[in-house]
Structure 1
């Protein structure tokens, strides 16, 4: 069952929603369903970095980065009825270069992960049956074989790579959500997630052998947020509170310090109605809802700092689209932060990631919130 999600492009006129001015204040955890003051908005040194060469409409969905290198993936050529084609870019320490994917037929690359210039992985949306698992060969992306490759109903949705170069891929096979694990040569599917009608959208590796996933699950005619941990067996946390909530990312500093972000669709509304940003914290006992600082939009990704703590969240603020939107961890609170002015007409961020081994960060998305021409791929950087 594939549920409706408020992702990039699901935007339009808003009706029946009060969109007022957001006051300034710091945000601290509050019980689910309560209100809190909104965070202070301030500039944080993010700079737009040109990512030339994409064919409108285009967007970058995910990014992985290390010192002097990065990979970003998404889709381009979304014009009229076109399903588009996969888009991949590489950062060489000084500029982004579009990667030639003429040998691939995939309509979208959905995630990317890597540890060095010779070891990176991506997954994509198939043009036919089966999802592709792609490996970077230091020049371009190539398909690699895995159990269930080209099998009808197999879908790969996200990927993570550990410092031991173990690869973890979320997806589904045989009608159940699962993890695929391997070292590049040998692969195996792990036990199914013990949740009916679940979709997984992100994989987070906290430590070798401890993998977290997030997504959504069927609930009472709608869906709720799903977070689970694999450490040799599945542990499924209670559903994240929210009305038709889909989670885009999860970050775990420990079993009692887990953050989940996403978009709450709510009770519905006119076509194109934006959802509501959702930020929740697990303390080992219960989920606590935290105010995001704006009421219409989305939260799309989380990045940790050098100590493994959640540090930055990427998002989209429907109420103020003049520049990109972030939440920054400031002690025990989250603070609303903004990107550069005038860098793009109305930038939409899909992801944020730390630059491994440094204190820098990258974010990616598109130059406007609607994936239609002339929208192009977009990146921002926060240097150490």
Structure 2
């Protein structure tokens, strides 16, 4: 989920017009541009492929995972504060065909988690700052057809070495207490988890029973579902209902697929109200679902401005990192994140078209510094390629 090193703290990016005292103040559009955050390269790997996640315990203990394009070999990289090296995957992970995920488990531990596609009951691994050791995987869900492993989606939340949650099936979540995994049953199918605090966990998805789910052509009208863990049990929490006007489109339904816990107990949920397109003339528009937990109920939100209307990926210094290119500031402005260009030493011509894709993000413990793993796609005649990168987010003017 995150990692980092070096200097430059990501201050409240884009949240104020003031310039550093040794620089003349800008105004208008110039001030907004100066305050916008930007990525800078921390590492450009020496192979063609992609990095998919990054995490760190400190500036001199950073890890990144990814895969090569040629043959698809999984790659594990480590930075010790001076240089990046390619490291062997920890023993006990089993056959690893896809890059695992990196999860920060507090300030002293990282987890390496196999994703969907790993074989059998592959163990997880944890890094204590000196060595990798085995970590038991969650038990299989009796209702699941495959091994209990998270998908590429954000359905595992590690709050600390003795407090983690993972969805092990549509209706099952397992909790790690530092010694063992304990499965718990969810009231409704879930797609994502978020830990807001101790004994304060949310799972979101959909339900096909209860108010608003009456049959449409023999199928239930699915509604969004949110479930809260209070330390004792999972309890359903009421969410708004959705319904298209008559005549109803084919197979309508609404669900939540993303939940994000922010500082101060605020929680955001995102989803979609849609249907099976192409079976009705003058079909209605599908709609995005945006909900916020205000401490007592889920309330709808207006879409943010510009291109910040996508589901956010991280809560960064009072604002939302929407993707690798957009940041929604605390005062509601959508600002573009500056993107660097690869140096020619990486094989990119000065005239080549380049685009950055960010996948895994991580905040360095004890700092305001954020890192992200990803790749730069270089489109050039006859020889396009992807360059794996680790980038650092900088605030404007830093």
**Is this a same-fold pair by TM over 0.5?**
yes
CA distance in 2, matches of 1:147, 1:218: 25
Which residue of the partner structure matches residue 180 of structure 2? 187
Which residue of the partner structure matches residue 327 of structure 1? 327
1:169 to 155, 159, 165: 165
CA distance in 2, matches of 1:59, 1:135: 19
Deviation at 1:367, TM superposition (A): 1.9
SS at match of 1:347: strand
CA distance in 1, matches of 2:274, 2:225: 16
In 2 relative to 1, CA 288–351 (structure 1 residues): closer, same or farther, beyond 3 Å? Answer: farther
CA distance in 2, matches of 1:224, 1:369: 42
SS at match of 1:350: strand
In 2 relative to 1, CA 235–177 (structure 1 residues): closer, same or farther, beyond 3 Å? Answer: same
- Work out whether residues 261 and 279 of structure 1, in 8 Å CA contact, stay in contact via their aligned partners in 2: yes
Deviation at 1:298, TM superposition (A): 4.3
- Work out whether residues 314 and 320 of structure 2, in 8 Å CA contact, stay in contact via their aligned partners in 1: yes
- Work out whether residues 322 and 328 of structure 2, in 8 Å CA contact, stay in contact via their aligned partners in 1: no
Which residue of the partner structure matches residue 312 of structure 1? 320
> Number of residue pairs matched?
314
Deviation at 1:98, TM superposition (A): 3.8
Which residue of the partner structure matches residue 228 of structure 2? 229
Once superposed, what is the RMSD of the aligned Cα atoms? Answer: 4.4
SS at match of 1:148: coil
- Work out whether residues 314 and 326 of structure 1, in 8 Å CA contact, stay in contact via their aligned partners in 2: yes
Mapping of residues 338-377 of structure 1, within 5 Å: 338-343=337-342, 345-368=354-377, 374-377=385-388
Which residue of the partner structure matches residue 115 of structure 1? 106
Mapping of residues 8-87 of structure 1, within 5 Å: 44-53=36-45, 55-61=47-53, 63-69=54-60, 71-78=62-69, 84-87=72-75
CA distance in 2, matches of 1:311, 1:188: 34
Whose radius of gyration is greater, 1 or 2?
Answer: 2
> Structure 1: which 5+ runs fail to align?
1-25, 27-39, 316-323
- Work out whether residues 328 and 336 of structure 1, in 8 Å CA contact, stay in contact via their aligned partners in 2: yes
CA distance in 1, matches of 2:235, 2:156: 19
> Deviation per CA, 1:291-346, whole angstroms, max 9, x where unpaired?
243459843511254xxxx533231xxxxxxxx41323334x24323132435821
Deviation at 1:238, TM superposition (A): 4.3
Which residue of the partner structure matches residue 88 of structure 1? 76
- Work out whether residues 45 and 382 of structure 1, in 8 Å CA contact, stay in contact via their aligned partners in 2: yes
1:286 to 290, 293, 298: 298
Which residue of the partner structure matches residue 10 of structure 1? none
